[in-house]
Amino acid sequence: MELKTLCETQGLPGREEKVRAMVREACEQALGKDAVSLDGLGSVIAVRRGSDPTRPRVLLAAHMDEVGLMIVSATEEGLLRFRPLGGVDARVLVSKRVRVGYDQADKPSLPGVIGAMAIHQQTAEDRKAVLPVEQLYIDIGARDKAEAERVAPAGTPVTFDAPCVPFGDGLVLAKALDDRVGVYNLLRLLDAPYAGDLVFAFTCQEEGGCRGAGTAARRAQPEIALILECTTANDLGDMPEALQVCRVGQGVCVSFMDNTSIGNAELYRAMLALGRDRGIPCQVKTFVAGGNDAGEIQRAGVGCRTLALSVPCRNIHSAAGVCSLSDIRAQEDLVRAWLAGR
Amino acid sequence: MEELIKTLTAAYGPSGREGEVADLIEGMLAGKVDSVRRDALGNLICEKKGTAADGRRIMLAAHMDQIGLVVTHVEKEGFLRVSNVGGINAANSRTRHVRFHNGVQGVLVEQPLKPGETSSLRSYYIDIGAKDAAQALSMVELGDVAVYAEGCFSIGAHRLAAPAMDDRCACALLVKLMQTLPACRDTVVAVFTAQEEVGTRGAQTAAYSLEPDLGIALDVTLCGDVPEDRKLAIALGEGPAIKVMDAHSISNPDLVRELLAAADRAGVACQREVLPHGGTDAGAMQRTRGGMPVCTVSIPCRNVHSSCEIVDLTDMDGALRVLLSYLA
Amino acid sequence: MDILTYLQEAGALYGPSGHERETADWLAVRFRPLCDEVVVDPLMNVLATRKPTAPTAKGGRAPKILLCAHMDEIALIVTEILRDGSLRMGNIGGVDPRILPAATVTVHCRPAGGEPATLTGVVGAKAPHLLTEEERKQNYKREDLFIDLGLPAEKVKALVNVGDPVTLVGPAVGLLGGRAAGKTMDDRACIGVMLEAAQRLAAMRHAAEITFACTTQEEVGCRGAKVAAHTVNPDLAIILDVSHAPIPASRPDTTVPLDAPAATYGPYIQHQLFSRLRDTAAKHGVTLNMEHAERSTGTDTDAVQIAREGVPCVLIDLPLKYMHTTVELLDTNALRECGRLVAHFAAEIDEGWDDALWS
C-alpha cells in the first residue's frame, strides 16, 4: 500500500474505521481471513503462525490513529467550536485548513478554516498570549447555528487538510506520518522471513494516552515486541545538539528510554550492532522525552521485552510533518534483518 | 542485616539494569527457597512453598532498582549530557561522584546558570575525564546509566547512610526474611522487582504472572523529623511504618490492622503512615487482574533520593520481626 | 423506589475510597432481590449479575454487559495529631479546601483494642482578624486548616490515630420541583440509576447477561473498576457517572442541562455504541443531551475500556450542580429517566449487537 494513501486517509483516535478497513483487507489478503481479528478497541491483530515453536513469539506494532480535532458545539454565528484529540499545540492551528467529517463515497468531507483576529486589530496583550483552543473556531461558512449543527454535529471528527507530497531531497511532507509510516512498514513486513510466531498489531488510540496497545498486546501475548513509530526531530533552527533528539535522514532511531518505557538493554545493543554490521543507518534517540505504545505493551499481562524503532519526524503532530524516505526504509530493513537473524 | 545492606547498596542497578543486584540476591538465597526465576522485565522471583494445601499465596515485593542518570548526548569536549532515570533531584546532585556499570567514574556538575534560569538536569553534565567526544565514547555509550558512587557508611550507633538505600535496605530485609522464615502455612513469594522508580513497572507484570492472594510491598518512606520539614508524622528510629495510604494505593484497612496486631504480638512499636504523594509496588499489585488486598511496610528513611539516604537498623529489625510475626 | 429516601440512606453510608466495606454490604443487600448472583471482590466492588431471561436471536452465546457506578466518596484523612489535640488532614480524592472552613465532619476512629467509633468535628482556620491583608485575598489552603474535636489532647490521642478517615457531613434534602441536594450524590445517585434499571429489567425480557458493578476507589483513580472489569470480562460496558450542570460562572461547552441525562462522546467512547444509545433514547422518548471528552473521561470508563483485550464503552452522565461539595444538587426525574434508558438499552442488546461496531 502506498504511504500517500495511508497518510491521506482520515483516522482519529477512536475513529480509525477507514484505516482499519484498509489494513484489515491487506492483512486478510496476505495471511488469510482466519489470521486476522479485532480487539475490544478495534485494533487489528494479524497472526502469522511459525513453524518453529522454539523461536520467541514476536509482536510488531504500529498505531493507526493520527492527531486531530473534534467538534463540540456551534456558536450562534455558525462557527464550530472544537477540542484537540491527542497532543495538538494550539499554536499550530491558527490559519490552517481542515476537513470536517470523513469522506464518504456519496458525501465528501467539508473544508473548513481556523481563523483568528487580524493582526491590525490585536492589542499588545493579544500578541503576547497564546490563543487557547477554547477561543479558536472552525469556519465552514455556515450561516447560523442550526446550519452548522446540521452539517457538523457535535462529535464530528476533523483532520488536517494536507496532501502527502514529496519534499526537498528524499523527504516526504504530510499529515499523519505519525504513525502511518509504521503502518506502512508493518504491511511491508507481513512477508518478512521468520520461523517463529509473528504477530502484527495495528493499534488504536495511541494519541491521547496509548489506550489501544495494552489491549492488543494482551491478545497477542508476545515475548518480544518491536514498536514501529515516529518520533520528534528537533534538528533545525540552530538547536543545541543536546536538544535535537534525533536528525532526519540519519537513519532509524533506536530508543534506550522514553517517558513510558526503558528499552530492553540487550535488544537495544543488538539492534545498534546489527545496523552497524549490515550498513543499515541507525541513530540513537538522544533525549528522554515523549512516549509510545511500547510502555503499555511492555507491561501487558506477564510483560515482554520491548524496543521502539522510530522514524524521525519534524513538525510532528501538525499538518506538516516531514520524514526522510531513507529513514522509513531503514526502519523496515532493520526489522527485517533482525527477524532473519533470530 | 548490616552486612547485607552494605553488600546490596554497593551493587550497580538503575532501573532497567538490575542484573547485578539480582545475581547477588540469587546467591544469598541459594538453597533457602524452593524456586528462583527471572521474567521479561528482570524481576527476580523466589518462592517458598507453604505447608497448607489451602494456604494463601503472599507476594512480598522489594525493588532492586535505583535512580540514575542516562547519557543522552556527548559534547565535543567530551562532557556527557544526561537525563534522569526515575526521580533524580537536581538540588541533591550538585558535584556528585558517579559511576557507570563498567567501572568508569565521573563527576556530575552543574554548569553556571544564566540569570533567571532555574536549575534542572538540562544544565548538568558528567565529566569522565575524557579529552573529546571520541575518547568519551570509547569509555561510555549513549544510553549507559550512571549512579551515585558514594559508599555505605555508619553514622551514630545504629544508622547507615548510602545511595540506593531506597530500596536495597528493603531488599536486604526481604533476603533476611527469606533466609530465616520457618516453614509456614502460606506460600511466600519474594519478588525483587525491577523498574519501580520509573513507575512500579516490574511489580505489575510479576503480580500478573503470580496471581497472589495478597501483596505486601517493602519500601522506604520519608521522615518528618528533620529541621524545617515537619509535614509528615514519621520519625527515624521510632519503628517501621505501616502505610495507610499514599498517592498510589490505599492499604486494605483489614490488612493494616492485622499487621499492627502482628507488631503488637512481636512487641514492636509501629508508626502509621499517610503520605500525600509517592507510591510503592503495592499500587501495582493491588490492581492486577481481579485485584488483591495490599499494604506497604515502610522503612523510615531520611534524604530519600539523594546520595546519602539514612536508615536506622532498629527500624529494620522491627520490620523483620513484624513480618515474621505476621507470616508465622 | 422512592428516590429521595434512597439518596438519603445511600448518602449517609460510610465509604471513603479504600474504606467501602459498610457501603458495599448495604448495596449487596439492595441488589440481592434483583439479581441471580451478588459477590463482593477483593477491592470491595459489589458485582451483581442478572442471568439472561430470553434466548438470543440465533441461539448463540449471550452477550455480557457490565454496568458501572462508583460507591466511594471523597473524604479527608488524619495526617497528624497536634499537641493541642486538633488534627491536621490530608485528602482522599479531590476535596476542594474552599468547602472546609466551618464544615462539620465525622472522624472514623478505632481506638487500640476497641471497636470502631465516630467523633464529630468542626473544621477551623486562622480567624479572619488575625490574617494579613494579603492572606485575606486568598482561599485557605488545606494545610492551614485543622479539625477541632472539642476534646482535650490526651483524650484525642487515646481515640484517634494517624490514618483515620474523616467524612464530610451533608444529608440529602428534597427541594422544589423534584430536585434534591446532599453529599455523595457523586456517584451513589448513579447506583440509584442502576437499582432503578435493575427493577425495570426484572419485569422485562433480556438476552444479555447483565452485571451491575458498584465500584470502589474511583475518586483516587478508577482502581476498583479496573479489577471489576477484569473479573467480569464483559463484551461491552455502560458507565454511569455524574457531570456538571450549568451555573452562572460556567465556561462554554463544559456543562449539560440539569433536567435530563446526557451521553459522552469522544475517543474513549465506542462511537457506534454511542449512536445506538442515542437511537434507544429517541425510540423510548428519553431526552438525552450530549457531552464531550476529548481524552480521559475522568470516570471508570478510563479503566474499563482498556481492561483485558479492550471493552467497547458508553458513558451516561447524570448532571448535577456543585460537584464535590456537600450540596451536590440533582433532578430526581432525570435520575429516573436515566434508569429507564439504561434498562431499555441493556434489554435490547442481543446476539449480533456488534455486527457494525467497527465500520
> What gap in Å lies between CA B52 and CA B183, rounded to an integer?
10
**Residue C155 to chain B, least CA–CA distance (Å):** 19
Cα separation values, B1 from B175, B180, B315, Å: 9, 12, 11
Instruction: Give the pLDDT mean for A111-123.
Output: 78
Q: Which of C21, C42, C79 sits opposite B290 (nearest CB)?
A: C42
Dmax of chain A from CA atoms? 70
Residues A21 and A36 in one domain: yes
The three cell numbers locating residue A193: 522471513
Helix (H) or strand (E) holding A49: none
Residues C342 and C217 in one domain: yes
In this structure, is residue C354 part of a structural domain? no
For residue A69, the one-letter residue type is L
In this structure, is residue C353 part of a structural domain? no
The question of whether B2 is a catalytic residue gets the answer no
Q: From the CB of residue C333, how many other CB atoms can be counted at a distance below 10 Å?
A: 14
Chain C CB within 8 Å of residue A63 CB? no
In this structure, is residue A167 part of a structural domain? no
Residues C153 and C255 in one domain: no
**Residue A91 to chain B, least CA–CA distance (Å):** 24
Coil, strand, or helix at residue C346? helix
Residue of A nearest to C357 (CA): A42
Which band of pLDDT confidence, cut at 50, 70 and 90, is reported for residue A95? confident
| C-chain residues near B245 (CB < 8 A) | 18, 77, 92, 163
pLDDT tens-digit readout, C93-132: 988 888 888 889 999 998 877 889 999 999 988 777 667 7
- What phi-psi label fits residue B228: left (phi over 0), alpha (psi between -120 and 50 degrees) or beta? left
Write down the mean pLDDT value for chain C. Answer: 94
- Percentage of the residues of chain A whose pLDDT score is greater than 90: 77
In this structure, is residue C264 part of a structural domain? yes
> What gap in Å lies between CA B253 and CA B258, rounded to an integer?
9
- Please report all neighbours of C, defined by 3+ CB atom pairs within 8 A: A, B
**Residue B270 to chain C, least CA–CA distance (Å):** 12
Instruction: Give the pLDDT mean for C234-248.
Output: 94
**Residue B4 to chain A, least CA–CA distance (Å):** 27
Q: Note the pLDDT of residue A16.
A: 97
- DSSP letters along C255-301, please? ---TTS-EEEESTTS-HHHHHHHHHHHHHTT---EEEE-SS--SSTH
Q: Which of C253, C306, C309 sits opposite A73 (nearest CB)?
A: C253
In this structure, is residue A169 part of a structural domain? no
Q: Which of B17, B40, B85 sits opposite A303 (nearest CB)?
A: B40
Residues C294 and C328 in one domain: yes
Which domain covers residue A230, as residue numbers? 3-66+175-341
Write down the mean pLDDT value for chain A. Answer: 93
Residues C134 and C210 in one domain: no
> What gap in Å lies between CA B65 and CA B197, rounded to an integer?
7
- Please report all neighbours of A, defined by 3+ CB atom pairs within 8 A: B, C
Sign of CA dihedral B122, B126, B131, B135: negative
Give the per-residue SS3 of C154-173. Answer: HHHHHHCCCCCEEEECCCCE
DSSP 8-state symbol, C32: G
Who's near B253: CB < 8 A, 6+ residues apart? Answer: C18, C19, C21
> What gap in Å lies between CA C242 and CA C258, rounded to an integer?
11
| A-chain residues near B290 (CB < 8 A) | none
Q: How many domains does chain C have?
A: 2
In this structure, is residue C358 part of a structural domain? no
| B-chain residues near C110 (CB < 8 A) | 257
A288/B70 Cβ within 8 A:
yes
Residues C143 and C285 in one domain: no
DSSP 8-state symbol, C309: T
A262/B205 Cβ within 8 A:
no
Domain boundary among C168, C197, C214: C168
Instruction: Give the pLDDT mean for C129-158.
Output: 84
Q: Which of A242, A257, A304 sits opposite B40 (nearest CB)?
A: A304
In this structure, is residue A166 part of a structural domain? no
> What gap in Å lies between CA B201 and CA A304, rounded to an integer?
11
Q: Note the pLDDT of residue C130.
A: 67
B204/A299 Cβ within 8 A:
yes
Residues A331 and A206 in one domain: yes
To the nearest 10°, report the CA torsion of B7, B12, B18, B21.
Answer: -20
- Edge to edge, the sheet with strand B35-38 lists B35-38, B44-48, B187-193, B57-63, B214-222, B294-301, B241-245, B271-274
In this structure, is residue A74 part of a structural domain? yes
C270/A85 Cβ within 8 A:
no
In this structure, is residue C357 part of a structural domain? no
A130 pLDDT above the threshold of 80: no
C357 pLDDT above the threshold of 90: yes
- Percentage of the residues of chain B whose pLDDT score is greater than 70: 100
Residues A221 and A328 in one domain: yes
B85/A262 Cβ within 8 A:
yes
A128 pLDDT above the threshold of 80: no
Residues A58 and A83 in one domain: no
B205/A299 Cβ within 8 A:
yes
* Most C CBs within 10 Å, among B243, B244, B256, to test the C interface: B244
DSSP 8-state symbol, A79: P
Residues of chain B with pLDDT under 70: 230
The three cell numbers locating residue B245: 495510604
Residues C126 and C201 in one domain: no
Instruction: Specify whether the CB–CB gap between C190 and C69 falls below 8 A.
Output: yes
Chain A CB within 8 Å of residue C63 CB? no
Q: What is the CATH number of the domain that holds C343?
A: 3.40.630.10
C256 pLDDT above the threshold of 90: yes
Instruction: Name beta bridge partners: C81.
Output: C87
| C-chain residues near B232 (CB < 8 A) | 79
Residues A273 and A139 in one domain: no
In this structure, is residue C135 part of a structural domain? yes
Residues C164 and C203 in one domain: no
Residues A51 and A100 in one domain: no
In this structure, is residue C174 part of a structural domain? no
Instruction: Specify whether the CB–CB gap between B49 and B34 falls below 8 A.
Output: yes
- Please report all neighbours of B, defined by 3+ CB atom pairs within 8 A: A, C
Domain boundary among C135, C168, C201: C168
Q: What is the CATH number of the domain that holds A52?
A: 3.40.630.10
**Nearest alpha carbon to residue B297 among B184, B317, B308:** B317
In this structure, is residue A170 part of a structural domain? no
Q: Which of residues 214-273 of B touch A (CB under 8 A)?
A: none
Residues A182 and A299 in one domain: yes
Residue of A nearest to B83 (CA): A288
Q: Which of B15, B16, B201 sits opposite A299 (nearest CB)?
A: B201
Residue of B nearest to A296 (CA): B201
| A-chain residues near B208 (CB < 8 A) | 301-303
Q: Note the pLDDT of residue A283.
A: 96
Residues A188 and A295 in one domain: yes
Of the two residues A77 and B154, the one the predictor is more confident about is B154
For residue A7, the one-letter residue type is C
Who's near C113: CB < 8 A, 6+ residues apart? Answer: none
Who's near C354: CB < 8 A, 6+ residues apart? Answer: C63, C235, C236, C312
In this structure, is residue A61 part of a structural domain? yes
Instruction: Give the pLDDT mean for A199-210.
Output: 94
| C-chain residues near A213 (CB < 8 A) | none
Q: Note the pLDDT of residue A115.
A: 77
| Full-model pTM | 0.89
Chain B CB within 8 Å of residue A242 CB? yes
Residues A189 and A253 in one domain: yes
Which band of pLDDT confidence, cut at 50, 70 and 90, is reported for residue A287? confident
Residues C68 and C89 in one domain: no
The three cell numbers locating residue C213: 458493578
Cis peptide preceding C187, ω within 30 of 0: yes
| C-chain residues near A42 (CB < 8 A) | 270, 310, 357-358
Of the two residues B228 and A42, the one the predictor is more confident about is A42
CA B302 to chain centre: 14
Q: Tell me whether residue C202 is exposed, middle or buried, using C-beta atoms within 10 angstroms of its C-beta: 0 to 12, 13 to 18, 19 or more.
A: middle
Q: What are the residue ranges of helices labelled H in chain A? A: 3-8, 17-31, 124-128, 145-151, 177-188, 212-220, 265-278, 294-298, 325-341
Domain boundary among C168, C193, C216: C168
Q: Note the pLDDT of residue C99.
A: 87
Cis peptide preceding A235, ω within 30 of 0: no
Chain B CB within 8 Å of residue A273 CB? no
> What gap in Å lies between CA A153 and CA B37, rounded to an integer?
56
Q: From the CB of residue A55, how many other CB atoms can be counted at a distance below 10 Å?
A: 17
Q: How many domains does chain A have?
A: 2
Sign of CA dihedral B132, B137, B141, B144: negative
Instruction: Give the pLDDT mean for A14-22.
Output: 97
A125 pLDDT above the threshold of 80: no
Which domain covers residue C50, as residue numbers? 3-73+183-347
Residues A186 and A61 in one domain: yes
* Most A CBs within 10 Å, among C291, C292, C317, to test the A interface: C292
Q: Which domains does chain B have, with CATH numbers?
A: 2-66+163-327 (3.40.630.10), 68-148 (2.40.30.40)
Residue of C nearest to A87 (CA): C295
Residue of A nearest to C294 (CA): A85
Q: Which of C253, C309, C358 sits opposite A81 (nearest CB)?
A: C253
In this structure, is residue C356 part of a structural domain? no
In this structure, is residue A31 part of a structural domain? yes
Residues A206 and A260 in one domain: yes
Q: Which of A242, A257, A302 sits opposite B39 (nearest CB)?
A: A302
Instruction: Name beta bridge partners: B310.
Output: B161, B302
pLDDT tens-digit readout, C40-99: 999 999 999 999 999 999 999 999 999 999 999 999 999 999 988 999 999 999 888 888
Least confident among A66-70, B241-245, C281-285, C320-324: C320-324
Residues C241 and C205 in one domain: yes
Q: What is the CATH number of the domain that holds A103?
A: 2.40.30.40
pLDDT tens-digit readout, A236-252: 887 788 888 899 999 99
| C-chain residues near A41 (CB < 8 A) | 305-306, 310, 312
B142/A256 Cβ within 8 A:
yes
A287/B73 Cβ within 8 A:
yes
Residues C94 and C104 in one domain: yes
> What gap in Å lies between CA C72 and CA C91, rounded to an integer?
14
Residues A120 and A230 in one domain: no
Q: What is the CATH number of the domain that holds C97?
A: 2.40.30.40
Q: Note the pLDDT of residue B230.
A: 66
